């Protein structure tokens, strides 16, 4: 009898240095970046796997992996009577391979000696920087039914978006017949696909690769070890070169999916969670997003007007007004402050009364956000100390810049992790 838990191994790609998400990746790997006030990016693919009854997972990473290791160790603990695990595979030098991961395919190739110690029929390759809720059981069932060697999850996109993705063409049986990476606008007319009536009404006539793949085990090992031993990337090399030699099938997904690999996209994806009915549903009981259980007290709020706001546990909120914002774990916001369209990531610890008193005597702002502050269109990273009367007003009127305390990207101000902004500071 076919069992996903016994037949599938998931490989989650942690990505490179994450420069597009800088400064959020200055001291942590991309999968470890906090999202939605209490989760980490890596929780998304792992939760999708658990909800699909896939319990054997490897996370491949090589940059700033300490916080990611700690999060996974403290979160994903399976029963002694289960075969389930979430293991970190960091890049390592070996006598036959002295280099770090050179791309997605190279990362999997270098990790095969660990992954291959498991019995499995299918490898599910996932990205660590996407937001979605997919039933992988259905996708793998389609892969089996079609007799596919490789399946690529695809999503319909508009012409404007097509220039940012690998675009596919399929035949009547959903077999992929051709592939082009980030086609220029003038080429789009040749890449229109039948995505279905509903998608066409929305102008979504192009099939984009989501960077989610299923490989038959032997096919993946042959491709990586023997046929293309020097190929570095799945999307640019392995997939395009496999289309003519293997049965490569498209699995069309029409739900919510977004690549949040840069700061503006990350910011928008988080703020979108505050809408009345967000497209990414954190409240769906059948599609639970799992994370570390912190055993924190409930949030405490006093005298604050709030609208379209999510507040994580352990927070102490005395602000005047909070609108369309996410407030992360252990956040502290002082009297009279206003937060609009911002993501406050919160803190990793509380300060004792003794430490608070000592810091006040030395003129050091308390952990969190002080009194009478105004913060708009901003991301405040973990463990920041923002003094009283600080004004942070993001928007398109600001030029991109990188300051020792903050970075501005496309109007979004990111206050760096652990930054100290004195009283009266203004951006």
Q: Report the pLDDT value the prediction gives residue 213, as an integer from 0 to 100.
A: 95
CATH number for 16:
3.90.550.10
Structure tokens at 225: 């070890």
User: Could you tell me the two tokens for 64?
Assistant: 């700033």
Q: Where are the beta strands (DSSP E) in 97-149?
A: 122-127, 130-132
Tell whether 115 and 256 lie within a shared domain.
Answer: yes
- What are the two backbone dihedrals, phi and then psi, of residue 215, each rounded to the nearest 5 degrees? -120, 135
Q: Are residues 235 and 96 in the same domain?
A: yes
pLDDT at residue 98 tops 60 = no
Share of the chain above pLDDT 70, in %: 95
Tokens of 167: 């675009």
Per-residue model confidence as pLDDT tens digits over 330-349: 999 999 999 999 999 999 99
Q: Is there a domain that residue 287 lies in? A: no
User: What mean pLDDT comes out for the span 216-230?
Assistant: 92
Give the tokens for residue 63: 């940059």
* pTM for the full predicted model: 0.92
**pLDDT at residue number 95:** 56
Q: What is the pLDDT of residues 415-424, one digit of tens each?
A: 999 999 999 9
For 164, the domain range is 4-272
User: Could you count the other beta carbons within 10 Å of the beta carbon of residue 5?
Assistant: 13
Predicted pLDDT at 94: 58
pLDDT band at 141 (very low <50, low <70, confident <90, very high): very high
102 within domain boundaries: yes
Q: Which residue(s) pair with 251 in the sheet?
A: 153
pLDDT category of residue 29 using cuts at 50, 70 and 90: confident
Question: 356-376 as b/e, with b when 16 or more CB fall inside 10 Å?
Answer: eeeeeeeeebbbbbbbbbbbb
Give me the number of domains the chain comprises.
2
Q: Please state, in angstroms and rounded to a whole number, the distance separating the CA atoms of residues 342 and 353.
A: 28
Please write the tens of the pLDDT for every residue from 372-393.
999 999 999 999 999 999 999 9
User: Is the residue at 328 inside a domain?
Assistant: yes
Whether residue 381 lies inside any domain: the answer is yes
Strand runs labelled E in 66-129: 85-90, 122-127
For residue 426, being part of any structural domain is answered with no
pLDDT digits (tens, 9 = 90+) for 226-262: 998 888 888 889 998 899 899 999 999 988 998 887 9
Residue range 209-225: mean pLDDT, rounded: 94
- Classified as helix, coil or strand, 82 is coil
**Together in a domain, 341 and 257:** no
162 in a domain, yes or no? Answer: yes
Mean pLDDT, to the nearest integer, of 117-124? 93
């Amino acid at each position: 009898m076919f069992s996903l838990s016994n037949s599938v191994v998931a490989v989650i790609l942690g990505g490179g240095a994450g420069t597009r998400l800088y400064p959020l990746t200055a001291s942590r790997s991309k999968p470890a970046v906090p999202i939605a006030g209490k989760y980490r990016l890596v929780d998304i693919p792992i939760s999708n796997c658990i909800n699909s009854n896939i319990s054997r997972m490897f996370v491949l990473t090589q940059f700033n992996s300490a916080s990611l290791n700690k999060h996974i160790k403290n979160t994903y603990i399976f029963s002694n009577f289960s075969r389930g695990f979430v293991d970190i595979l960091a890049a390592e030098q070996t006598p036959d391979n002295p280099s770090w991961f050179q791309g997605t395919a190279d990362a999997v190739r270098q990790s095969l000696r660990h992954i291959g110690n498991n019995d499995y029929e299918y490898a599910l390759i996932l990205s660590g920087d996407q937001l979605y809720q997919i039933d992988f059981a259905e996708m793998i069932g389609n892969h089996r039914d079609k007799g596919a060697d490789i399946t690529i999850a695809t999503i319909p996109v508009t012409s404007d978006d097509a220039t940012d993705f690998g675009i596919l063409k399929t035949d009547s049986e959903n077999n992929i017949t051709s592939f082009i990476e980030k086609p220029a606008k003038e080429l789009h007319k040749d890449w229109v696909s039948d995505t279905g009536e509903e998608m066409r009404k929305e102008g979504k006539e192009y099939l984009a690769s989501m960077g989610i793949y299923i490989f038959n085990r032997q096919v993946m090992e042959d491709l990586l070890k023997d046929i293309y031993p020097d190929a570095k990337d799945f999307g640019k090399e392995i997939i395009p070169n496999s289309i003519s030699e293997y049965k490569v099938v498209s699995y069309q997904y029409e739900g919510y999916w977004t690549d949040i690999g840069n700061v503006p996209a990350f910011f928008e994806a988080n703020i979108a969670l505050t809408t009345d009915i967000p497209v990414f549903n954190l409240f769906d009981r059948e599609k639970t997003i799992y994370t570390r259980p912190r055993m924190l007290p409930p949030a405490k709020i006093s005298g604050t007007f709030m609208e379209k706001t999510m507040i994580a546990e352990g927070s102490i909120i005395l602000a005047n007004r909070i609108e369309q914002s996410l407030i992360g774990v252990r956040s502290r916001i002082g009297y009279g402050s206003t937060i609009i369209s911002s993501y406050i990531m919160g803190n990793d610890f509380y300060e004792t009364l003794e430490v608070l008193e000592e810091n006040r005597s030395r003129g050091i702002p308390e952990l969190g956000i002080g009194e009478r502050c105004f913060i708009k269109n901003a991301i405040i990273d973990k463990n920041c100390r923002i003094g009283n009367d600080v004004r942070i007003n993001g928007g398109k009127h600001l030029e991109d810049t990188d300051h020792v305390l903050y970075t501005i990207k496309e109007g979004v101000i990111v206050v760096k992790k652990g930054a100290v902004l004195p009283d009266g500071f203004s951006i």
